[in-house]
């Protein structure tokens, strides 16, 4: 008995030892491939510099579908196909104009319409401004003090938060629901401090929703740069009657046909089990969206390129999915899940990269405790690649719709400090991408897919 136990322990340890050694070896090959033989940076160069912005329904989005499908077809998938999805189409129209003005002076300030906003009347809106920091404050002020005015939401993202996504979560209600909330008190428009921790001159767009208010109560809403928000606030302190003027000509069009782009390679052992790796093809319209989410798109494609380079054939079916319409509807993610349910597919794993192309630090995981413990136990294989952080948390908007009970969902967690310097603003461009950081992210994604593929889920 003792001998058997000893033998069993010896064998167990040997298996564990060899497994570790093998994983270490494969990790080395994965990261070597990512850092010395990758295509993701040049793919992103094309996506950003030759195609440019890719808002749902735009020409850029259509060209991005075409380009990525073509590139995916070179990667040795069993099939590359498009999934039809009807997406909202919203267009910005002319560049917005805005002024802080009193009787004597008129200071031009940088604003941009928020996605989904209605336009102002053709000649713009001029009104007094009331600065608030929360929806509760609207209630306190009441209709009397708000009616006829422009509500100016100026609660900054909290600089003391270590993770910038926490700071974003703590402020984005103003952007997403601010117009609907202010309209209920008779505001004629809203101006929202940009979701940006830095003081600069870029207004940051982003999705907003009128919620359940009737269409005739929709009011135009725009983001203002953080520097201009500071200026407006300061000006209001010295002159509460100062007026704000803004003009925007954005509009919502009819929904149009677009696509998710999918590349699939059948698993060699468990073809019925599906692992998804993805990012979103659409971007906001102010820039080429290199970080949000060009990076996630090309990193996801790179996972397949890495597996080709190191000659790794996944045991489970691997799908690289480039989702459409994350930014203003997540219709692509929902359509993917709808089709998956209709086809009775079994997803074991989904990984999204949608937090920028910065140095990867780890993963945020949505899964049960057993899987969390299992994945966390792989820390030591990841550590030489400076991947330390395995935490529970939101994985990704496009894979949110995947709701199977046993699925493991993960989000790549890159360093977040600079993300909101660029997010949804005109400076989210290719020159803000560092090649090595992008490649390390792709390698890290491939490494996790490999571990899940080898070890399965609980």
Which residues are part of the catalytic machinery?
326
What SS3 class is residue 438?
A: helix
Phi, then psi, of 65 in degrees rounded to 5: -60, -50
Q: Compare residues 41 and 312 and give the one whose CB is closer to a second copy.
A: 41
Q: Which of 326, 421, 428, 453 binds a second copy (CB under 8 A)?
A: 421
DSSP secondary structure of 107-155:
EE--EEEPBTPPPPPTT-EEEEEEEESSHHHHHHHHHHHHTTSEEEE--
CB of 414 to a second copy, least distance (A): 10
347 lies in the site for a second copy, by CB under 8 A = no
Q: Which stretch binds a second copy (CB under 8 A): 30-38, 205-213, 231-239, 302-310?
A: 30-38
Instruction: Show the DSSP H helices in 310-368 as ranges.
Output: 331-342
Interface positions, 250-279, toward a second copy (CB under 8 A): none
Number of residues that bind a second copy (CB under 8 A): 27
Tokens of 203: 């207004």
Q: Which residue has the tokens 């192309």?
A: 357
Cα-Cα-Cα-Cα dihedral sign, residues 146, 152, 154, 155: positive
431 binds a second copy (CB under 8 A): no
3-state secondary structure of 166: helix
61, 98, 111, 197: residue in contact with a second copy (rule CB under 8 A): 197
From 31-39, 273-281, 368-376, 392-400, span contacting a second copy (CB under 8 A): 31-39
Q: What three-state secondary structure class fits 163? A: coil
From 6-14, 118-126, 161-169, 370-378, span contacting a second copy (CB under 8 A): 161-169
Query: Segment near a second copy (CB under 8 A), from 50-58, 84-92, 332-340, 412-420?
Result: 412-420
What angle, 0 to 180 degrees and rounded to 10, lies between the N-to-C axes of helices 435-455 and 2-36?
A: 150
> Is 62 a binder of a second copy (CB under 8 A)?
no
Identify whether the C-beta of residue 279 lies closer than 8 Å to the C-beta of residue 295: yes
Question: How many C-beta atoms surround the C-beta of residue 37 within 10 A?
Answer: 13
Considering the complex, what minimum distance in angstroms separates the CB of residue 34 from a second copy? 9
Q: Quick one: 154 or 164, whose CB is closer to a second copy?
A: 164
| C-alpha closest to that of 128 among 99, 147, 149, 151 | 149
**Could you say which residues in the range 368-397 bind a second copy, by CB under 8 A?**
384-386, 388-389
Rounded to a whole number of angstroms, the minimum distance from the CB of residue 448 to a second copy is 16
Helices (H) and strands (E) in the chain — how many of each? 13, 16
Rounded Cα distance, 256 and 86, in Å: 5
Tell me which residue has tokens 């798109």.
297
User: Which one among 106, 237, 313, 436 touches a second copy, defined by CB under 8 A?
Assistant: 436
| Alpha carbon distance 22, 7 (integer Å) | 22
Report in angstroms how near the CB of residue 37 gets to a second copy at its nearest: 10
Residue owning tokens 């920028």: 356
239 binds a second copy (CB under 8 A): no
Q: Which stretch binds a second copy (CB under 8 A): 1-9, 157-165, 187-195, 253-261?
A: 157-165
Out of 32, 126, 308, 427, name the contact with a second copy by CB under 8 A: 32
CB of 418 to a second copy, least distance (A): 5
Tokens of 218: 């929709």
Which residues of this chain interact with a second copy, rule CB under 8 A? 31-32, 35-36, 159-160, 162-164, 197-198, 359, 361, 384-386, 388-389, 415, 417-418, 421, 434-437, 440
């Amino acid at each position: 008995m003792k001998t058997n136990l000893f033998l069993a322990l010896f064998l167990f340890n040997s298996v564990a030892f060899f497994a570790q050694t093998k994983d270490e070896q494969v990790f080395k090959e994965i990261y070597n491939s990512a850092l010395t033989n990758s295509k993701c940076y040049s793919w992103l160069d094309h996506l950003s510099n030759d195609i440019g912005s890719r808002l749902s329904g735009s020409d850029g989005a259509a060209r991005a579908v075409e380009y990525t499908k073509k590139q995916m077809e070179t990667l040795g998938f069993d099939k590359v196909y498009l999934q039809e999805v009807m997406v909202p189409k919203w267009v910005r129209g002319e560049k917005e104009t805005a002024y802080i003005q009193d009787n004597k002076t008129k200071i031009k300030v940088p604003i941009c319409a928020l996605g989904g906003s209605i336009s102002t009347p053709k000649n713009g809106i001029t009104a007094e401004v009331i600065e608030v920091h929360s929806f509760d404050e609207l209630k306190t002020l009441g209709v009397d003090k708000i009616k006829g005015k422009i509500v100016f939401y100026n609660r900054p993202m909290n600089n003391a938060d270590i993770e910038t996504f926490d700071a974003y979560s703590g402020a984005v209600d103003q952007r997403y629901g601010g117009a609907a909330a202010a309209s209920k008190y008779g505001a004629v428009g809203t101006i929202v401090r940009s979701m940006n921790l830095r003081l600069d001159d870029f207004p940051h767009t982003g999705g907003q929703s009128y919620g359940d208010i009737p269409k005739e109560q929709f009011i135009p809403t725009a983001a203002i740069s953080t520097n201009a928000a500071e200026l407006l606030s300061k000006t209001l302190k010295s002159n509460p009657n100062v007026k704000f003027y803004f003009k925007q000509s954005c509009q919502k069009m009819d929904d149009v046909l677009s696509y998710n782009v999918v590349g699939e390679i059948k698993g060699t052992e468990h073809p019925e089990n599906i692992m998804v790796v993805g990012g979103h093809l659409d971007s906001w319209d102010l820039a080429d969206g290199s970080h949000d989410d060009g990076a996630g798109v090309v990193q996801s494609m790179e996972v397949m390129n890495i597996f080709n380079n190191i000659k790794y054939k996944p045991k489970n079916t691997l799908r690289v999915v480039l989702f459409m319409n994350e930014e203003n509807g997540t219709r692509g993610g929902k359509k993917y899940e709808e089709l998956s349910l209709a086809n009775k597919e079994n997803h074991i794993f989904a990984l999204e990269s949608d937090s920028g192309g910065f140095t990867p630090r780890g993963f945020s995981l949505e899964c049960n405790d057993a899987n969390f413990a299992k994945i966390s136990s792989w820390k030591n294989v990841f550590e030489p690649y400076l991947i330390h952080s395995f935490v529970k948390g939101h994985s990704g908007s496009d894979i949110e719709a995947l709701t199977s009970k046993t699925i493991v969902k993960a989000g790549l967690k890159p360093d977040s400090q600079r993300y909101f310097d660029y997010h949804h603003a005109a400076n989210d461009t290719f020159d803000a991408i560092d090649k090595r950081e992008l490649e390390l992210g792709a390698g890290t994604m491939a490494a996790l897919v490999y571990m899940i593929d080898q070890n399965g889920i609980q």
